[in-house]
Amino acid sequence: MRSGVGSEAQFRKKLGSIEDQGSWDRRFAGLKKSTRAYMKYPESEIDRDRFRLDTIVIPAHDEGFNDVFMEQHQWFPLLPVHANMIQRLRYVAVYRVAPISAITHYARIISIEPLPTGKNLVVKFEKPRAIGPLKYHKHGGVKPIQGRKYAEMRKLKRASSLEDAF
């Protein structure tokens, strides 16, 4: 075995014999119960912050921001998003890339639909509202947004910078 793992004898002593199926089932019975509880009650203490993510933050250049986000009230192509995440999304926020380097607007999502190609999505939303700007700080702990990122709208509304938002 690799160094740091120990010998096979130590491994078997800790975990018991796999052949002893009864003890194996008893050992992991608690895990199975907690997994079922987690699936049934996703907003439990285990990972509740993960389930508050209700906003997708997308990066945009000035041209796309002005022509598509502000005028057409939609954004595409939005790369595939997991179905569980789509159900939770309520808002879209836009991070305007350099030279602005800040989240400047957000909007409530009306719909998320597949494009005719079937691979990507289009997000349609209400009239965007100004927020912040939540600026990127060069020496801060958060890097500039380069792809989609998920956030909590309540944090975005209270934040004064990207660091506060994420």
Tens-place pLDDT, residues 113-148: 888 877 788 999 999 999 989 888 887 778 888 888
Full-model pTM: 0.67
Fold of 52-165: 2.30.130
Strand, helix or coil for residue 106: strand
User: H-helix or E-strand containing 86?
Assistant: helix 83-88
Residues of the chain with CATH 2.30.130: 52-165
- The whole-angstrom separation of Cα 61 and Cα 150 is 19
- The whole-angstrom separation of Cα 99 and Cα 111 is 30
Q: In this model, does residue 10 exceed pLDDT 70?
A: no
User: Residue 92's beta-bridge partner residues?
Assistant: 56, 107
Tell me: the pLDDT tens digits for 61-119?
999 999 999 999 999 887 778 778 888 999 999 999 989 999 999 999 999 888 887 77
State the virtual CA torsion across 26, 31, 35, 40 in degrees, nearest 10.
60
